[in-house]
Amino acid sequence: MLRAPNRPVECVTAAHRGKLAYIYVRQSSVNQVRHHQESTELQYRLVDRAVALGWPHERVHVIDEDLGKSGAGTVERLGFKKLIAEIGLGNAGLVLSLDASRLARNNRDWHQLLDLCALFGVIIADGERLYDPCAYHDRLLLGLSGIMSEAELHQIRQRLHQGERQKAARGELRRRAGLSSAVRRSVPVRTFGDWNDPPPGYVEVDFVAHSGTSSPGSFVQTMVLTDIATSWTECVAGADARKWSSSLPSSGLGRCSPFRFKAWTLTMTAPS
Protein backbone atom coordinates (compact mmCIF):
# COMPACT_ATOMS: atom_id res chain seq x y z
CA MET A 1 0.00 0.00 0.00
CA LEU A 2 1.26 3.51 -0.84
CA ARG A 3 1.57 5.79 2.17
CA ALA A 4 2.20 9.48 1.64
CA PRO A 5 3.82 11.28 4.56
CA ASN A 6 1.59 13.48 6.70
CA ARG A 7 4.44 15.81 7.74
CA PRO A 8 7.14 17.58 5.74
CA VAL A 9 10.03 15.35 4.84
CA GLU A 10 13.31 16.81 6.00
CA CYS A 11 15.48 15.35 3.26
CA VAL A 12 13.34 16.91 0.51
CA THR A 13 14.38 20.53 0.07
CA ALA A 14 13.36 23.39 -2.18
CA ALA A 15 16.36 22.57 -4.37
CA HIS A 16 14.94 19.09 -4.98
CA ARG A 17 11.48 20.46 -5.73
CA GLY A 18 13.00 22.95 -8.15
CA LYS A 19 13.90 20.01 -10.38
CA LEU A 20 11.73 17.33 -11.96
CA ALA A 21 10.31 14.19 -10.37
CA TYR A 22 10.57 11.02 -12.44
CA ILE A 23 8.26 8.03 -12.01
CA TYR A 24 9.76 4.83 -13.40
CA VAL A 25 7.16 2.24 -14.45
CA ARG A 26 8.13 -1.27 -15.56
CA GLN A 27 6.68 -4.75 -15.87
CA SER A 28 8.99 -7.68 -16.62
CA SER A 29 7.07 -9.22 -19.53
CA VAL A 30 4.28 -8.54 -21.99
CA ASN A 31 2.22 -11.22 -20.26
CA GLN A 32 2.43 -9.28 -16.98
CA VAL A 33 1.40 -6.07 -18.73
CA ARG A 34 -1.69 -7.81 -20.13
CA HIS A 35 -2.77 -9.87 -17.14
CA HIS A 36 -1.38 -7.98 -14.11
CA GLN A 37 -2.83 -4.57 -14.85
CA GLU A 38 -3.39 -3.78 -11.18
CA SER A 39 0.39 -3.65 -10.62
CA THR A 40 0.82 -1.33 -13.58
CA GLU A 41 -1.95 0.98 -12.35
CA LEU A 42 -0.38 0.97 -8.87
CA GLN A 43 2.88 2.20 -10.37
CA TYR A 44 1.13 4.96 -12.33
CA ARG A 45 -0.53 6.13 -9.11
CA LEU A 46 2.92 7.01 -7.78
CA VAL A 47 2.33 10.34 -9.49
CA ASP A 48 -0.01 11.21 -6.60
CA ARG A 49 2.77 10.40 -4.13
CA ALA A 50 5.14 12.76 -5.92
CA VAL A 51 2.51 15.50 -5.84
CA ALA A 52 2.00 14.88 -2.11
CA LEU A 53 5.75 15.32 -1.61
CA GLY A 54 5.54 18.82 -3.05
CA TRP A 55 6.06 18.50 -6.80
CA PRO A 56 3.53 20.20 -9.10
CA HIS A 57 1.69 17.75 -11.30
CA GLU A 58 3.15 19.27 -14.48
CA ARG A 59 6.69 18.70 -13.16
CA VAL A 60 6.15 14.98 -12.60
CA HIS A 61 7.27 12.91 -15.58
CA VAL A 62 6.42 9.25 -16.10
CA ILE A 63 8.93 6.98 -17.85
CA ASP A 64 7.14 3.84 -19.03
CA GLU A 65 9.10 2.82 -22.16
CA ASP A 66 10.27 -0.35 -20.40
CA LEU A 67 6.86 -1.95 -19.91
CA GLY A 68 7.24 -5.60 -20.89
CA LYS A 69 11.05 -5.64 -20.52
CA SER A 70 13.11 -7.54 -17.98
CA GLY A 71 15.30 -5.63 -15.53
CA ALA A 72 17.88 -8.43 -15.34
CA GLY A 73 20.23 -6.63 -17.72
CA THR A 74 19.82 -9.08 -20.60
CA VAL A 75 17.81 -6.67 -22.77
CA GLU A 76 18.26 -3.02 -23.63
CA ARG A 77 16.01 -0.73 -21.60
CA LEU A 78 15.53 2.61 -23.30
CA GLY A 79 13.47 3.96 -20.41
CA PHE A 80 16.20 3.23 -17.87
CA LYS A 81 18.79 4.85 -20.15
CA LYS A 82 16.57 7.90 -20.41
CA LEU A 83 16.30 8.06 -16.61
CA ILE A 84 20.09 7.80 -16.20
CA ALA A 85 20.57 10.55 -18.78
CA GLU A 86 18.14 12.90 -17.04
CA ILE A 87 19.90 12.36 -13.71
CA GLY A 88 23.30 12.97 -15.31
CA LEU A 89 22.04 16.21 -16.88
CA GLY A 90 20.98 17.46 -13.45
CA ASN A 91 17.28 17.58 -14.31
CA ALA A 92 16.05 15.14 -11.64
CA GLY A 93 15.28 15.93 -8.02
CA LEU A 94 13.32 12.76 -7.25
CA VAL A 95 13.30 9.23 -8.64
CA LEU A 96 10.23 7.28 -7.61
CA SER A 97 9.40 3.63 -8.25
CA LEU A 98 7.23 1.03 -6.58
CA ASP A 99 10.28 -0.84 -5.26
CA ALA A 100 13.92 -1.47 -6.08
CA SER A 101 13.15 -4.41 -8.36
CA ARG A 102 11.25 -2.10 -10.75
CA LEU A 103 14.37 -0.01 -11.33
CA ALA A 104 16.83 -2.89 -11.76
CA ARG A 105 17.25 -6.62 -11.22
CA ASN A 106 21.03 -6.54 -11.49
CA ASN A 107 23.64 -4.84 -9.33
CA ARG A 108 25.41 -3.16 -12.25
CA ASP A 109 22.41 -1.00 -13.21
CA TRP A 110 21.33 -0.52 -9.62
CA HIS A 111 24.68 0.82 -8.36
CA GLN A 112 25.08 2.99 -11.45
CA LEU A 113 21.78 4.61 -10.49
CA LEU A 114 22.81 5.01 -6.83
CA ASP A 115 26.16 6.58 -7.69
CA LEU A 116 24.60 9.14 -10.03
CA CYS A 117 21.85 10.01 -7.56
CA ALA A 118 24.44 10.52 -4.83
CA LEU A 119 26.60 12.65 -7.13
CA PHE A 120 23.76 14.93 -8.24
CA GLY A 121 21.83 14.94 -4.94
CA VAL A 122 18.73 13.09 -6.16
CA ILE A 123 16.28 11.59 -3.69
CA ILE A 124 15.13 7.99 -4.30
CA ALA A 125 11.67 6.95 -3.13
CA ASP A 126 9.50 3.86 -3.21
CA GLY A 127 5.92 3.25 -2.12
CA GLU A 128 6.79 3.55 1.59
CA ARG A 129 9.69 5.90 2.31
CA LEU A 130 12.37 8.24 0.98
CA TYR A 131 16.09 7.54 0.71
CA ASP A 132 18.98 9.96 0.47
CA PRO A 133 21.86 8.19 -1.34
CA CYS A 134 24.30 10.60 0.29
CA ALA A 135 23.30 9.46 3.79
CA TYR A 136 25.22 6.44 5.08
CA HIS A 137 22.30 4.44 6.50
CA ASP A 138 20.04 5.18 3.54
CA ARG A 139 22.80 4.16 1.13
CA LEU A 140 23.26 0.94 3.10
CA LEU A 141 19.53 0.13 2.86
CA LEU A 142 19.51 0.91 -0.86
CA GLY A 143 22.49 -1.36 -1.44
CA LEU A 144 20.80 -4.20 0.43
CA SER A 145 17.60 -3.63 -1.57
CA GLY A 146 19.52 -4.04 -4.82
CA ILE A 147 21.23 -7.22 -3.59
CA MET A 148 17.92 -8.73 -2.47
CA SER A 149 16.27 -7.77 -5.77
CA GLU A 150 18.92 -9.64 -7.79
CA ALA A 151 18.88 -12.61 -5.39
CA GLU A 152 15.09 -12.81 -5.63
CA LEU A 153 15.34 -13.10 -9.42
CA HIS A 154 17.82 -15.97 -9.03
CA GLN A 155 15.45 -17.77 -6.65
CA ILE A 156 12.51 -17.31 -9.04
CA ARG A 157 14.50 -18.80 -11.92
CA GLN A 158 15.70 -21.67 -9.75
CA ARG A 159 12.16 -22.59 -8.73
CA LEU A 160 10.97 -22.46 -12.34
CA HIS A 161 13.83 -24.65 -13.60
CA GLN A 162 13.35 -27.10 -10.74
CA GLY A 163 9.67 -27.44 -11.62
CA GLU A 164 10.56 -28.08 -15.28
CA ARG A 165 13.08 -30.75 -14.31
CA GLN A 166 10.53 -32.52 -12.12
CA LYS A 167 7.97 -32.49 -14.94
CA ALA A 168 10.58 -33.82 -17.35
CA ALA A 169 11.45 -36.63 -14.93
CA ARG A 170 7.76 -37.65 -14.84
CA GLY A 171 7.48 -37.38 -18.62
CA GLU A 172 4.94 -34.56 -18.36
CA LEU A 173 6.98 -31.70 -19.80
CA ARG A 174 5.49 -30.37 -23.00
CA ARG A 175 7.05 -27.56 -24.96
CA ARG A 176 5.07 -25.44 -27.33
CA ALA A 177 6.23 -25.83 -30.90
CA GLY A 178 7.41 -22.67 -32.59
CA LEU A 179 6.33 -21.19 -35.91
CA SER A 180 9.19 -22.83 -37.79
CA SER A 181 8.06 -26.27 -36.62
CA ALA A 182 4.53 -25.60 -37.88
CA VAL A 183 5.89 -24.48 -41.24
CA ARG A 184 8.03 -27.59 -41.55
CA ARG A 185 5.02 -29.79 -40.80
CA SER A 186 2.72 -28.05 -43.27
CA VAL A 187 5.12 -27.65 -46.21
CA PRO A 188 6.56 -30.89 -47.65
CA VAL A 189 10.19 -29.93 -48.17
CA ARG A 190 12.11 -32.78 -49.75
CA THR A 191 15.53 -33.31 -51.22
CA PHE A 192 16.69 -35.78 -53.81
CA GLY A 193 17.92 -38.06 -51.06
CA ASP A 194 14.44 -38.27 -49.52
CA TRP A 195 13.11 -39.94 -52.68
CA ASN A 196 16.29 -41.94 -53.35
CA ASP A 197 16.43 -40.26 -56.74
CA PRO A 198 19.70 -39.39 -58.44
CA PRO A 199 20.85 -35.79 -58.17
CA PRO A 200 21.11 -33.60 -61.28
CA GLY A 201 23.80 -34.60 -63.75
CA TYR A 202 22.64 -38.07 -64.81
CA VAL A 203 21.58 -37.62 -68.43
CA GLU A 204 19.84 -39.74 -71.05
CA VAL A 205 21.19 -39.13 -74.57
CA ASP A 206 18.97 -40.06 -77.52
CA PHE A 207 20.49 -40.11 -81.04
CA VAL A 208 18.07 -39.88 -83.98
CA ALA A 209 19.28 -40.35 -87.53
CA HIS A 210 17.36 -38.33 -90.12
CA SER A 211 18.37 -40.30 -93.23
CA GLY A 212 15.04 -41.22 -94.68
CA THR A 213 15.04 -44.69 -96.29
CA SER A 214 18.77 -44.75 -97.08
CA SER A 215 21.41 -45.05 -94.38
CA PRO A 216 24.66 -44.89 -96.47
CA GLY A 217 26.37 -41.52 -96.77
CA SER A 218 26.18 -38.45 -94.67
CA PHE A 219 22.97 -37.27 -93.06
CA VAL A 220 21.85 -35.11 -90.21
CA GLN A 221 21.60 -36.51 -86.71
CA THR A 222 20.00 -34.93 -83.65
CA MET A 223 21.05 -35.53 -80.10
CA VAL A 224 18.48 -34.95 -77.33
CA LEU A 225 19.78 -34.74 -73.78
CA THR A 226 17.35 -35.16 -70.86
CA ASP A 227 18.36 -34.90 -67.22
CA ILE A 228 16.64 -37.64 -65.20
CA ALA A 229 16.27 -35.64 -61.98
CA THR A 230 15.21 -32.21 -63.28
CA SER A 231 13.83 -32.99 -66.78
CA TRP A 232 16.18 -30.38 -68.23
CA THR A 233 16.29 -30.94 -72.01
CA GLU A 234 18.53 -29.76 -74.80
CA CYS A 235 18.52 -30.70 -78.51
CA VAL A 236 21.38 -30.22 -81.01
CA ALA A 237 21.94 -31.28 -84.62
CA GLY A 238 25.08 -32.35 -86.43
CA ALA A 239 26.54 -34.44 -89.20
CA ASP A 240 27.82 -37.11 -86.82
CA ALA A 241 26.45 -36.52 -83.35
CA ARG A 242 27.66 -39.85 -82.02
CA LYS A 243 31.26 -38.65 -81.75
CA TRP A 244 30.14 -36.06 -79.17
CA SER A 245 29.29 -38.76 -76.66
CA SER A 246 32.95 -39.43 -75.84
CA SER A 247 33.58 -35.77 -74.94
CA LEU A 248 30.16 -34.72 -73.63
CA PRO A 249 31.36 -32.93 -70.43
CA SER A 250 33.95 -30.85 -72.31
CA SER A 251 31.73 -30.12 -75.31
CA GLY A 252 29.72 -26.98 -75.82
CA LEU A 253 26.72 -28.67 -74.25
CA GLY A 254 28.68 -29.54 -71.13
CA ARG A 255 29.75 -25.94 -70.70
CA CYS A 256 26.21 -24.61 -71.22
CA SER A 257 24.55 -27.11 -68.89
CA PRO A 258 23.24 -25.74 -65.57
CA PHE A 259 24.99 -28.63 -63.78
CA ARG A 260 28.00 -30.86 -64.28
CA PHE A 261 27.46 -34.08 -66.22
CA LYS A 262 28.15 -37.10 -64.00
CA ALA A 263 27.01 -40.00 -66.21
CA TRP A 264 24.94 -40.56 -69.33
CA THR A 265 23.28 -43.41 -71.21
CA LEU A 266 22.97 -43.63 -74.99
CA THR A 267 19.91 -44.61 -77.05
CA MET A 268 20.18 -45.01 -80.80
CA THR A 269 17.15 -44.64 -83.06
CA ALA A 270 17.63 -46.48 -86.33
CA PRO A 271 17.06 -44.61 -89.60
CA SER A 272 13.61 -44.86 -91.06
Indicate the number of domains in the chain.
2
Q: Do 143 and 226 belong together in one domain?
A: no
Question: What's the rounded Cα separation, in Å, for the pair 122 and 72?
Answer: 23
Tally of residues, the chain: 272
Angle at 113 between CA 119 and CA 109, to 5 degrees: 145
pLDDT at res. 13 = 92
For residue 22, list its beta bridge partners: 61, 95
Is residue 61 in some structural domain?
yes
pLDDT at res. 104 = 85
Give the highest mean pLDDT range of 48-52, 140-144, 230-234: 48-52
Whether 7 shows a pLDDT value over 50: the answer reads no
pLDDT at res. 107 = 83
Of 149, 170, 191, which marks where a domain is finished? 170
Mean pLDDT is lowest, of 39-48, 91-100, 139-148, 200-209, for 200-209
Whether 139 shows a pLDDT value over 80: the answer reads yes
Contact status, residue 261 vs residue 203, Cβ threshold 8 Å: yes
Give the highest mean pLDDT range of 80-84, 97-101, 106-110: 80-84
Residue 28 annotated to the active site: yes
Whether 96 shows a pLDDT value over 60: the answer reads yes
Of 170, 185, 215, which marks where a domain is finished? 170
Question: What's the rounded Cα separation, in Å, for the pair 244 and 238?
Answer: 10
pLDDT at res. 61 = 96
Q: Do 163 and 216 belong together in one domain?
A: no
Is residue 177 in some structural domain?
no
CATH of the domain at 83: 3.40.50.1390
Q: Which of 28, 97, 145, 149 is catalytic?
A: 28
pLDDT at res. 117 = 94
Cα–Cα distance list, 75 to 15, 24, 71, 146, 153 (Å): 35, 17, 8, 18, 15
Mean pLDDT for 228-232 is: 76
Q: Per residue in 157-191, pLDDT tens? A: 677 677 667 777 776 666 655 444 554 455 555 55
Is the entire prediction scored with pTM above 0.85? no
Is residue 1 in some structural domain?
no
Q: Do 127 and 262 belong together in one domain?
A: no
Is residue 255 in some structural domain?
yes
Is 58 in a helix, a strand, or coil? helix
Q: Do 68 and 134 belong together in one domain?
A: yes
Whether 108 shows a pLDDT value over 90: the answer reads no
More reliable by pLDDT, 48 or 160: 48
Whether 1 shows a pLDDT value over 50: the answer reads no
Which domain, by its residues, includes 220?
202-269
